[in-house]
Chain A
Amino acid sequence: MIAALAAAALFYLLPLAAGASLLGRGGRRPALPDAWIAGTLALAAWLAAVNVAAGLFGWQAGTRLALLQAGAAALALPALLALARGGRGGLAVTDVPLTAAGLAAAAAAVAVWRADSPYPALLNWDMFEHLALSEQMLRGHVHLSLRSYSDTFTLDTYLPFYHALLSFPRALLAPDPAGFAWSLDTLHTFVAVGVTGWTARRVLGSRSAAAWAMVVAAFSFESHVAYTSLFHMPQTLTAVFFTAALGSIAGGATGTPALLRWAAFLVASHFFVGVLAGPLVIGFGLLARLEPARARRLAIAASAVAAGALAAALVARHAGGLVLDPFGTAESAHFTLGPADVWRLMRRAHGFASLLLLPLGALLLWRGPAPGPALAAATGVALAAALSPLPYVMKFATLFHFLGAMVMAAGLRLLASGAGIVGITAWLAAWLAIFGTGQKASFKREPHHGVHTLSSADERAAAAFLRERFPPETALLVGEPATQHILEGLSGVNTQGGTFASGRTRDLVDRLWPADAATAADAALQVRDRLAREAPSRVLIAVGGRFFAWQAAEPRHRRASHFNVWRPRDMAPADWEALAQWRASDRLRLLFRNDGVALFEVLPPTAEAPSATISSTRSPR
C-alpha cells in the first residue's frame, strides 16, 4: 500500500517537479499550469525517445526501464531538492487554516466514499484500460494514437500524456496495479479539492468563500460520465488543469501566449472536454483583463450564445433532427441525456442547493469586480453544455464541477458564513448528507462480500497469477468482456478489445458456453487481436461467475458494448460442476481457479494432455 500511495503521489510530483526544474532556472517561478505542461511534455518525450531508441537498437527491457528511471530522476530531482530545502519551487503553505480546511473536507469525503470500498477495491471502470495502455508503454510501444496501443481503445479522444504520467511511477516503484489505481483515485480527491481552494481564493478573493468552494467540491459528486471529484481519469485531470489555469489567470497571468498555450494543452489532454475548456480559459482570461462593465457586456453575449445553442439543440432533439449516435455505436446513444436526466443527476450531486446557490452566487459575482462576471459566464456556458441533449456532454460536467463549486461558494459565503456558527454547521451537515446519499445511490447497491468494488479479490489473484506466469506478449486471454477488461488491466496479458470486444469476438465468446471443450477451444483459437504482430503462442480462457452471468444475458445485451456484468460474481458450485467436461478434456488445461475465476489454457487438437498444473488460492470444493 505504501508503494502504491507513493507511486500515486509521484504521478503529480514528477511532472510538477520536472516542469519546475526546466522552467525555474534563473530564479523564475513558473505558473502552475506551465510547470505541469513542461513536465508532462518532457516526461512524455523522454519515454518516447527511450522506447524509440530501444526499438532501434534492440535494448532489453531492463535497460529501457533503467533509462526511464534515470530520466525521471534527472528531470525532477533539481526541483525536488529545492522543495526539500524549502527554496524556489517549493510548495510552501501560505494559508494554514485554509489548507487545513481543504484537507479536512477531502479527508471526510474520502472517508465516506471508502468506508465500504477499502484498499484496493476499485470503482473506477476506466482505470483498467488506462493501466493496460500504460503497460504497453512500459513494454516499449510509442505512438500518439491511443488505438495503436490497444484495441481496448476504439477512439482517439486525447493524446496519451496521461498514460505517460502513469508509466513513470510504475517504472520507478512497480506498485500493485489495483493498489496504484485506488491510490490515484484517492489522491485525486485531495488534489481536486486543493486546486479548487487555490483557485477560489484567487478568483473570489475571499478565504471563507474559498473554504466553501472546497467543501462543495469535496461533497458534490457527479455520478454519471463526469465522476469529477472521486475518479482519476484523463477528463478529470483535464478539468483540474482547467481550474488551475483559471486560478493562474486570476492571479495575474493573463498574457495571450499563456492563454493559448493552456488552451492548446487542454485540447490535447482531452479532445472533447478541451474543446470547451480551451475557449473558456481564453474567454476567462480576456474578460478578466477588461473593465467590469465591459466584461459584463461580453459575458452577457457569451451567455446568450450558450443559451441559444442549448435552446436550438433542445428544439432539434425534440423535432428529431439530431443524430444521437454519431459513432454508430449503441454506447453513444446510451450516454445521451436530456435536461430532465441531467437535473436528476444534479439533484443527486447537490440536492436542491444548486437551485438556490447557483443563481445567488452568480448574481453576487455578476455585480462584483473582475473576474467575477467572467466566472459567472463560464459557469453558465459549462452548465448549458452539460444540459444539451448530445452524446457524452455530461463530460462537460467535469468543468462545471469546479466552476459551480466556486459560484455556489459565493452564495454560501453570504448565506452560511453570514449566519455564524449556526449557519456554517447547518450547511456543512447538509453537504455531508447530500454527498453521503448521492455517492451511495450511484455505485453502492450490490456489495461483493461486503465490499463495493468492480473487481474482486479473486480476480486480482487471477491477474497476479497471469502477471507472474505469462510473458505478456505471448498470451491472449479470452473471456466475457468485463473479465477481459479487468484481467488485461491488472495483469497486462492481452485480450481482444477488453470490455470493447468486437462483435466477432463476442460471437466467439458466446460459443464458448454451453459447449464441450473442443468446441470452446476452437472458438477461443479464432479470436484475433487486430493489433497483434504475431499470433499468440498461448491462448487462455477465463471463466467465472461473470462469465456465466454474461452467457445467461439476452443476446442483444451480449452484443452491446455498454452492457457488462459490472459487479464481481462468485462461481457457483454448479458452475464448477458444469465445467467437468472441460476439466477432463485434452483440449483445455486448468491452470488456476479460485471462487471467482478459473483459467484454462487452450491446447492444440493433436497435443497430448499434459498433467494439470493447478494453482488455487482456496481449497477446491
Chain B
Amino acid sequence: MKFAAPLRPRSMAAAALAVATALLSVAGAEWASVTQDFPFGAFEVRTQPFGVAVVARQSGVAIRVQACHETAAREASPHETIPVCAPGTWPGRAEPGAWTEAWAAFDAVLGRPRVSWVAARDRPISIVVRPDAIALRFEKRVTGLGPGIAHYAHAFALEDAHVVHDGRGIAYTRLDDAALLARLGLEADTDPDPWRGLPEDAAYLALLDTRSGAALYLLGQPGSRLRVDRRRNIVLRQERLSTPQGSPLEVAVRLHAALPAGLAP
C-alpha cells in the first residue's frame, strides 16, 4: 500500500524534532526504578511509590523514609509492585513531615517487613532494614529470652543478634491485634513513651514488625562489647542505658553509621 512518505528533506529541523520528541517520550519513563541503582556518595535515593528512602549504599540501611500516603497495608500482586504501607504508631511523636513519620512495612520494596527505627529524643528517624543488612547475633539461646523474644527473633530475622547480657525479658509490643499478640505469647506494652528518660543525643535501634504492629527494642550500656560488621560497613555499638522504667539494662545497639550532613538528627 502507499503510505505517508517520510519528511523530506532530511533537514536539521527534522533531526531536531526527532531528538526532541524522543527525549520528551523518555522523560515519562519510570526513572525511579533506576535511581535506586545509581548511588551518589555513600548514599542513594530510592524513590518509591510510598515516598523517598535514603539508603546507605553498602549497608542497604535506609536512613530516611518520607511519608507514605497509603494507610492500608496491602501486598503487591505478583506482577505489579504496590507499596506495602502501614501507618506507624511508633512511638507517638509522629509529626507531619520528612523525619518523624513512622511508616513501615515495605515488603514489596526493600525486603521483609522488618523495620528498624533510630530515634533521637524527639525526632525518630525511620530506618528500613533489609534482612541482610544488619548482622546481630544472639549468643544466648533465644529460649533464654522468653517465648516472646524467640518469636520475635524469628519474626525479625534477629537470629544473628549478638547479645551479651543476661537476656531478661526485653520484648515490648505495640500490638493492636490482641489475638495475634496472644498467639505469639507476648505481653502488651503499656508504656506510652518508651523513649522517655533516654539521653537526648542517643540514637537507639529498635525493631518493629509493622505487619503485626509488634515492636521489639533493645537497650544497652555504653562500653559494652562492640560488634562491628565491617563487611557491611555498619558500625553497631552496644550501650548500657537505663530502660524507661529505670530497671537494669538490657542490650542496646547504637547506630553509628555515618549520616550525611543534613540527614543526621
Asked if chains A and B come from one complex, the reply is yes
Contacting B2 at CB < 8 Å: which of A205, A353, A436, A549? A205
A430, A443, A549, A573: the one contacting B25 at CB < 8 Å is A430
B8 near A418 with CB under 8 A, answer yes
Q: Is the CB of A434 within 8 A of B109?
A: no
Q: Shortest CB–CB separation between residue A171 and chain B, in angstroms? A: 29
Q: Is the CB of A443 within 8 A of B81?
A: yes
Q: Which of A208, A364, A424, A552 contacts B212 (CB 8 A)?
A: A552
Which chain A positions have C-beta within 8 A of B3? 204-206, 209, 364, 368-369, 372, 410, 413
B250 to chain A, nearest CB (A): 19
The yes or no answer to A53 lying at the interface (CB within 8 A) is: no
Known A205-B3, A368-B3, A441-B81: A356·B21 in contact at CB below 8 Å: yes
Closest chain B CB from A194 CB (angstroms)? 21
Residues of B within 8 A of A279 (CB): none
A345 partner residues in chain B, CB cutoff 8 A: 80
Contact B79 A574 (CB under 8 A): no
Q: Is the CB of B81 within 8 A of A352?
A: no
Q: Is the CB of A353 within 8 A of B80?
A: no
Contact of A50 with B by CB under 8 A:
no
Q: Is B135 an interface residue (CB 8 A)?
A: no
Chain B residues closer than 8 Å to A454, beta-carbon distance: 78
- Judge if B188 is at the interface, Cβ distance under 8 Å: no
Residue A422 lies at the interface, judged by CB distance under 8 Å to chain B = yes
Shortest distance between the CB of A440 and any CB in chain B (Å): 4
Minimal beta-carbon separation of A174 from chain B (angstroms): 28
Among listed B93-101, B154-162, B191-199, B231-239, interface-contacting one:
B154-162
B14: chain A residues at CB < 8 Å are 418-420, 423
Smallest CB separation, A426 vs chain B (Å)? 4
Task: Name the CB-closest residue of A to B155.
Answer: A552
Indicate if B33 sits at the interface (CB-CB under 8 A). yes
> Which listed residue, B26, B150, B158, touches A430 by the CB 8 Å rule?
B26
Q: Does A596 contact B (CB under 8 A)?
A: no
Task: State whether A562 and B108 are in contact (beta carbons under 8 Å apart), knowing that A351-B25, A441-B32 are contacts in the complex.
Answer: no
Given known contacts A566-B76, A574-B153, A578-B150, A422 and B4 CB-to-CB distance under 8 angstroms: no
Residues of A within 8 A of B44 (CB): none
> Shortest beta-carbon distance, A335 to chain B, in Å?
7
Cα distance, A555 to B183, chains bound together (Å): 12
A356 touches B25 (CB 8 A): yes
Is B23 an interface residue, CB under 8 A from the partner? Answer: yes
State whether A368 and B155 are in contact (beta carbons under 8 Å apart), knowing that A423-B14, A437-B33 are contacts in the complex.
no
Q: Is the CB of B15 within 8 A of A420?
A: yes
Q: Is the interface of A mostly helix, strand, loop or mixed?
A: helix
A504 within 8 A of B: no
Known contacts A418-B10, A442-B81, A445-B108; A572 and B154 CB within 8 A of each other: yes
A297 sits at the interface (CB 8 A) = no
| B142 within 8 A of partner (CB) | yes
Once the chains are docked, how many angstroms separate the CA of A352 from the CA of B154?
45
Closest to B209 in A: A552
A416 close to B (CB within 8 Å): yes
Q: Are B19 and A434 in contact (CB under 8 A)?
A: no
A139–B6 Cα distance when bound, in Å, is 57
Whether, in the assembled complex, B29 has its beta carbon less than 8 Å from a beta carbon of chain A, the answer is yes
- Give the shortest distance, in Å, between B148 (CB) and chain A (any CB): 12
The residue on B at minimum CB distance from A231 is B79
User: Which of B8, B10, B26, B32 counts the most chain A CB atoms within 10 A?
Assistant: B26
- A564 touching B18, Cβ below 8 Å: no
Does B22 sit at the interface, judged by CB under 8 A? yes
Q: Report, nearest first, the 3 A-B pairs whose CB atoms are least far apart.
A: A423-B18, A418-B6, A352-B28
25 A-B pairs with CB atoms under 8 Å apart are: A204-B1, A205-B1, A208-B6, A223-B80, A227-B79, A347-B28, A348-B29, A351-B25, A351-B28, A351-B29, A364-B3, A370-B1, A372-B3, A422-B18, A433-B26, A434-B28, A437-B31, A514-B183, A552-B113, A554-B73, A564-B75, A566-B78, A573-B160, A574-B150, A574-B158
Question: B residues engaging A (CB < 8 A)?
Answer: 1-4, 6-8, 10, 14-15, 17-19, 21-34, 73-81, 108-113, 142, 150-151, 153-155, 157-160, 177, 179-180, 183-184, 209, 211-212
Interface of A with B (CB < 8 Å)?
Answer: 125, 204-206, 208-209, 223-225, 227, 334-335, 345, 347-348, 350-353, 355-357, 364, 367-370, 372, 410, 413-420, 422-424, 426-427, 429-430, 433-434, 436-438, 440-446, 454, 514, 548-549, 552-555, 557, 562-564, 566, 569, 572-575, 577-578
